[in-house]
Amino acid sequence: SPSDLPSMASRFLPSLNRGPIGKSEAYMFCGQFSLDGKFFMSASQDQVIRIYDVNTILLKKSTISTANVGWSIIDCNPSPDNKLLVYSSWSPYIHLATFAPQDYDPNEDIDKRLKYIEKHEQLYLNPGNYRFCAFAVRFSPDGKEILAGSNDDHLYIYDLEKNVRTEKIHAHKSDINTVCYAGSSCPNLFYSGSDDGLCKVWDRRQCSTSSSTPVGILAGHSDGITCVTSKGDGRYFISNGKDQTCKLWDIRKMADSAPQIPRASNLWDYRYEAAPSRHARVIHPHDQSLMTYTGHHVLQTLIRCYFSPMSTTGQQYIYTGSHDGIVYIFDILTGQIVKRLYGHSHIVRDVNWHPYLPVLFSSSWDGTCLMW
């Protein structure tokens, strides 16, 4: 029965490397499935976004040539209706590409099935900072706004209907590397993670340029945060940190403030140096997290982490990329590593599990996107 599917399917984790679905001479930075699971989007440093059709046996592809990319595409996100794609780079603009998947005959040519409109809109965030990057971009659950976290310690909210950046919020004391919404059931709630080591919870209804007060703060990482991802229920989320841990949080444990501790990043740079040994790492004395997962390596880039799909695993697992080129899958309750996926020769920056199929794609700096 449908109710038994997650229990049965969760026993069978992705393990067989089916080979690369795509290759590039440049680093792969992002890889995400559309919400309906029909398409997979991969973005790399060669300034190309590749779109794969998951419904065909052979993953045929089309591409979107990006516009005015500085250094690399840093983040991308499909809209809830799968018609728009936002991406960011080192630029005061974020970019909106439009594509419209239509109903199609599976035997039809890919270029006829995917009606790409080669049109890009540049959305000016007006940061007032010459060297600017939106490290993270996310559509709101209703698709009407785009949320961005940036290197100038601010959150930005862009209203797509008004076609203007409406809010600029001084949210953290260091780079904001990651943002995400809590879920469609609570569309006004979102989370942010920063190099100041804090996760913050925000209510869109209380956000304005003149006010930068979150509804709650969660402390526990002893170094900067590279990724926050919601479970989608408005209560739980996970975060990857430069302290080489992934943590599980319950926002019902959040506080109004959090004591600051010296960050380990004051003593080392994760972009160039090896992480301090386990015994040298700073343990946060006021850790509010529910669980801590270790074994993977968060170095050199903003490595992503996620919950496994509800439909096939009941969200029983957490999975993450890693600096050592391995995909790690953790049991959410025990914290144990239940699977390591070997196949890449460089950093796995992003990894995405299909929402309905027993398939996982990993995007690596070795220039490949592997199917498991």
Q: What is the pLDDT of residues 33-44, one digit of tens each?
A: 999 898 899 999
Check: CB of residue 44 under 8 Å from CB of residue 28.
Answer: yes
Sheet holding 326-331, edge to edge: 305-307, 317-320, 326-331, 337-342
Alpha carbon distance 155, 148 (integer Å) = 6
Q: Is the pLDDT of residue 211 over 50?
A: yes
Average pLDDT over residues 312-317: 96
Looking at residue 110, the DSSP 8-state letter turns out to be H
Domain ranges, residue 49: 2-371
Task: Give the 3-state secondary structure of 222-262.
Answer: CCCEEEEEECCCCCEEEEEECCCEEEEEEHHHCECCCCCCC
From the list 213, 307, 195, 290, the residue with the least C-alpha distance to 251 is 290
- pLDDT one-digit tens code per residue, 259-299: 666 665 556 788 888 887 764 566 788 899 999 999 999 99
320's tokens: 């993450």
Query: String of b and e for 240-258 (b: at least 16 CB within 10 Å)?
Result: bbbbbbbbbbebeebeeeb
CB atoms within 10 A of CB 275: 18
Rounded Cα–Cα distance for residues 20 and 14 (Å): 15
How distant, in Å, are the alpha carbons of 246, 270, 352 from that of 101? Answer: 35, 40, 20
Kindly report the CATH number assigned to the domain that includes residue 9: 2.130.10.10
Residue 148 near residue 95 (C-beta atoms within 8 A): no
Confidence of residue 69 (pLDDT cuts 50, 70, 90): confident
Q: 66 vs 205, which has greater pLDDT?
A: 205
Pairing of strands 93-101, 114-124: antiparallel
pLDDT class of 207 with cuts at 50, 70, 90: confident
What is the predicted pLDDT for the residue at 279? 47
Other residues' Cβ atoms within 10 Å of the Cβ of residue 174: 16
Mean pLDDT (the chain) is: 88
**Which residue shows structure tokens 């990894």?**
351
Give me the mean pLDDT over the 193-214 stretch.
89
Alpha helices in 157-245 (DSSP H): none
Q: Is the pLDDT of residue 117 over 60?
A: no
Query: What pLDDT shows up at residue 128?
Result: 87
58 pLDDT more than 70:
no
Q: Report whether pLDDT(200) > 90.
A: yes
DSSP state of 284: P
pTM: 0.90
| Cβ atoms of residues 282 and 264 within 8 Å | yes
The residue among 154, 83, 84 whose CA lies nearest residue 125 is: 154
> Under a CB-based contact definition with an 8 Å cutoff, are residues 337 and 330 in contact?
yes
Mean pLDDT of 159-177: 96
In this predicted structure, the answer to whether residue 91 has a pLDDT above a threshold of 80 is yes
User: pLDDT grade, residue 120 (50/70/90)?
Assistant: confident
In total, how many domains does the chain have?
A: 1
The predicted pLDDT at position 61 comes to 67
Contacts 24+ apart (CB under 8 A), 45-54: 45/71, 45/72, 45/73, 47/72, 47/73, 48/24, 49/73, 49/76, 49/85, 49/87, 49/97, 50/22, 50/369, 51/99, 51/114, 51/116, 52/21, 52/22, 53/110, 53/113, 53/114, 54/354, 54/357, 54/359
CA dihedral for 165, 167, 170, 172, sign (positive or negative) = negative
Residues 6+ apart with CB under 8 A from 279: none
How far is 54 from 331, CA to CA, in rounded Å?
27
Which of helix, strand or coil describes residue 10?
A: coil
pLDDT at site 100: 54
Rounded Cα gap, residues 27 and 292, in angstroms: 29
**Among residues 147, 145, 229, which one has the least CA distance to residue 193?**
229
